Chains A and B, each alone.
Chain A
Amino acid sequence: MTTQIAPQVSRPTSVPLTAGHLPKGAPWIVLGGSLVVSAALFGILALASGGFDWGGWLVVGALLSVFAIWLLSRIVEGARRATDRLVTALVTGAFVIAMIPLISVGVTVVVGGLARLDVQFFTESMRNVTGEGGGALHAIVGTLLITLAAAVISIPIGLMTAIYLVEYGRGALARGITFLVDVMTGIPSIVAGLFAYALFAIFWGAGTRTGIAGAVALSVLMIPVVVRSSEEMLRLVPNELREASYALGVPKWLTIVKVVLPTSIAGIMTGVTLAIARVIGETAPLLVAAGFTASMNYNLFEGPMNSLPLFVYTQYTQQGIPQHAYLDRAWTAALVLILVVMLLNLLARAIGRRLAPKSGR
């Protein structure tokens, strides 16, 4: 078996250190063996039915290897180590399972999206387009405008709230605001959309769908994220800096503006970028509050305004003929959307690294 034979020269009572252990590479060998066995099994099935079942091969192979390593360890190493090996296999398996949707989404979006990733997609709207052709310029412009408006609303409110909580907030009000910010993080996006719709319906009549309503809906989702991340960054600013500033006779508000904010600006900008990345992909609130259209609309305050997520949604739900033209546009818009979100995330990391306060001077 896998245990080594004790060298003859040593005393009869001595046991080698590796006795009762599987060799180091055992799990990998078992995994490979199981996959081969599984391949053989499915190969025979494939001969009978004609097609090789790749998914079935992987699943059966993985399950077989988990069972085999447990059994092998149980025989060689005993029950406790067998459980340990079983859990290791399961935990690794959980991670691998989580990778499946990620890889699958990535591959399908890239493969499906490359079909229409052309100049026309970025330079034309869907006005008077049925069937093939057309582009998402109106949706891209809409997403940019709505997100920009949402950022303009949320960043000042969010940042000032964070400053209040860190620099001024005492007592019941601060505690209440902290609690409500936490609650706001959990507002379902569609409820934010309904709120913006109800708000604008009261002042501008029922059925009003404008870009700014969508921006208000997105701000409801964005403000708590901005508050949370900024608050955390402001708390990281060492108190000595504030005290040094006060000692020089600088008023409190100037201390905040000139000392506290510059020290924490990198973290705050990272948080803001992440908040933007989070709301830019929201669909439901815009569906309710901003509506959708096939035409260009540069005016936030009048008429429905399309956005990239809604473009994906409407291209899928309102398919025409030929079907593939609509699906291709949907996938391409999805690809662009994911790329934008990724870009924002990378930007956030880059900002965090570039603007980090210089230390040790």
Chain B
Amino acid sequence: MTTTAPARSQPKATLRLGDRVFSRTAVAAGLMILVTLAAVAIFLILRSIPAFGATSEDASILPAGENFWGYVWPLVFGTVWAAALALVIATPLSIGIALFISHYAPRRLASTLGYIVDLLAAVPSVVFGLWGILVLAPAVQPIYSWLVENAGWFPLFAGPVSATGRTILTAAIVLAVMILPIMTAICREVFLQTPVLHEEAALALGATRWEMIRTAVLPFGRSGIISAGVLGLGRALGETMAVAMVLSATPGLVSFALLQSANPQTIAANIALSFPEAYGVNINVLIATGLILFVVTFAVNAFARWIVSRRREFSGAN
């Protein structure tokens, strides 16, 4: 190193070809995501435009005398109603399971138990559908009969009871089982992040374990619980096959009754059931309902992300 450095005051960074190619590829891949999402929206919109003005003369799938909106409204209702029921079942359960894993179970077992709950996420939805229809529905039907007989005065449990058990409540139970793992995982993560000092302070003041959880863990994890619920809602809204198989639906019905044989249909299940045989404008109508589902879940997920983004560490993808 005897030669002196050239007297350039500002060494110019040479951009190598490899660098340029690589960074361009990376940017292109990132842009692909933008393009894909835009393409999803654009293709869905393009293909659903003919549906919005359709009448029952154009599309045989629309009930007589109804336009598109009359067709889609009961489906939206069914989708939201089934997802809300699933959420009502899954939220307390997932908080309980998360607390059990994070604060009640022995420390050494915690990760194993978490893994066991995650196993539920490994079961494909079509298998849950098969299970729901062949195992769960026959198993809960006697309970439904009993409920209708003894609590039929309560509007939700009004009779006559479904003989097969394939009601919207059964579908909601299956949905709840399917969204349990993601909700539990998020709740568990936040509960584990509770500052140990808060917990110990509560215990040192003489709090029992439950009082410690109520005063330290739950307030700390509130936003996590909310985002878990909203993410679970997003999953439940879009879940298709399990509902399509389990639910015995009556198209066009809007009803809150949980145990009857006539149930409202959901958007996703309706698409799955009607799409293979659809033709002509019917396809556009179904794609338009898919667009509405996309918008609804987009809004729900964006809301969840907004809550999560205030705590960056966890998201639904991992």
Q: Which residues of B contact A108 (CB under 8 A)?
A: 131, 134-135
Whether A165 and B30, one on each chain, are in contact in the complex, defined by CB atoms closer than 8 angstroms, is yes
B171-224, CB < 8 A from A: 177, 180, 184, 208-211, 213
Would you give the 0/1 interface string for A179-210, flagging 1 where the beta carbon is closer than 8 Å to chain B? 11111111111111011011101100011000
A163–B30 Cα gap in the complex (Å)? 9
Mark interface residues in B285-304 (1 if CB within 8 Å of A CB, else 0): 01100100110011011101
A283 touches B19 (CB 8 A): no
Whole-angstrom distance between the Cβ of A325 and the nearest chain B Cβ: 15
Q: Which B residue sits closest to A253, measured CB to CB? A: B22
**In the complex, are the beta carbons of B287 and A194 less than 8 A apart?**
yes
Complex formed: what's the CA distance from A227 to B36 in Å?
A: 14
Q: How far apart are the CA atoms of A84 and B43 in the complex, in Å?
A: 55
Docked complex Cα distance between A338 and B18 (Å): 43
Q: Which of B130, B271, B318 contacts A334 (CB 8 A)?
A: B130
Residue in B33, B39, B177 whose beta carbon sits within 8 Å of that of A177 in the complex: B33
Tell me whether B101 is interfacial, beta carbon within 8 Å: yes
Indicate which residue in A180, A252, A291 contacts B34 across the interface (CB closer than 8 Å). A180
Query: In the bound complex, do residue A173 and residue B30 qualify as a contact, i.e. CB atoms below 8 Å apart?
Result: yes
- Contact of B208 with A84 in the complex, beta carbons under 8 Å: yes
Which residues from 228 to 252 on chain B have a C-beta closer than 8 Å to any C-beta of chain A?
231, 234-235, 237-241, 244-245
Residues of chain A in range 313-339 having any CB-CB distance to chain B below 8 Å: 313, 316-317, 327, 330-331, 334, 337-338
**Which residues does chain B contribute within 8 Å of A254, judged by CB atoms?**
18
CB-based contact A187/B294 at 8 Å: yes
Complexed CA–CA distance, A168 and B113 (Å): 39
Q: Which of A156, A191, A277 contacts B290 (CB under 8 A)?
A: A191
The verdict on B315 contacting chain A, using a C-beta distance below 8 Å, is yes
Contact of A220 among B36, B180, B272 (CB under 8 A): B36
Which residues of the partner chain B approach A9 to less than 8 Å between Cβ atoms? none
Q: Are B209 and A334 in contact (CB under 8 A)?
A: no
Given contacts A105-B131, A291-B276, contact A199 B298 (CB under 8 A): no
Closest residue of A by beta carbon distance from B45: A198
A149 sits at the interface (CB 8 A): no
* Residue contact B23 to A253, C-beta cutoff 8 Å: yes
Please, which residues of chain A bring their CB within 8 A of the CB of B213?
Answer: 87
Within the assembled complex, what's the spacing in Å between the Cα atoms of A97 and B53?
Answer: 48
Q: Are B208 and A81 in contact (CB under 8 A)?
A: yes
Expressed in whole angstroms, the minimum distance between the Cβ of B20 and any Cβ of chain A is 9
Residues of B within 8 A of A66 (CB): none
Sort A-B residue pairs by CB-CB distance and give the 6 closest, nearest first.
A188-B238, A281-B124, A94-B96, A160-B29, A228-B317, A186-B301
B272 proximity list for chain A (CB < 8 A): 190, 284, 287-288
- In contact, B43 and A195 (Cβ under 8 angstroms): yes
Tell whether, in the assembled complex, residue A312 and residue B30 are in contact, meaning their CB atoms are under 8 Å apart: no
Smallest CB gap from B302: residue in A: A183
**20 pairs from A and B in contact (CB 8 Å cutoff):** A87-B210, A91-B96, A94-B97, A108-B131, A108-B135, A182-B316, A184-B37, A185-B316, A186-B316, A187-B40, A188-B294, A189-B238, A194-B286, A229-B318, A252-B22, A253-B19, A282-B124, A287-B241, A309-B126, A310-B126
Alpha-carbon gap, A220 to B41, bound state (A): 12
Cα–Cα distance between A251 and B16 once the two chains are bound (Å): 8
Chain A residues whose C-beta falls within 8 Å of the C-beta of B239 in the assembled complex: 188
Q: Is A188 in contact with B268, judged by CB distance below 8 angstroms?
A: yes
CA distance A188 to B130 in the complex (A): 20
**B residues in contact with A180, CB < 8 Å:** 33-34, 37
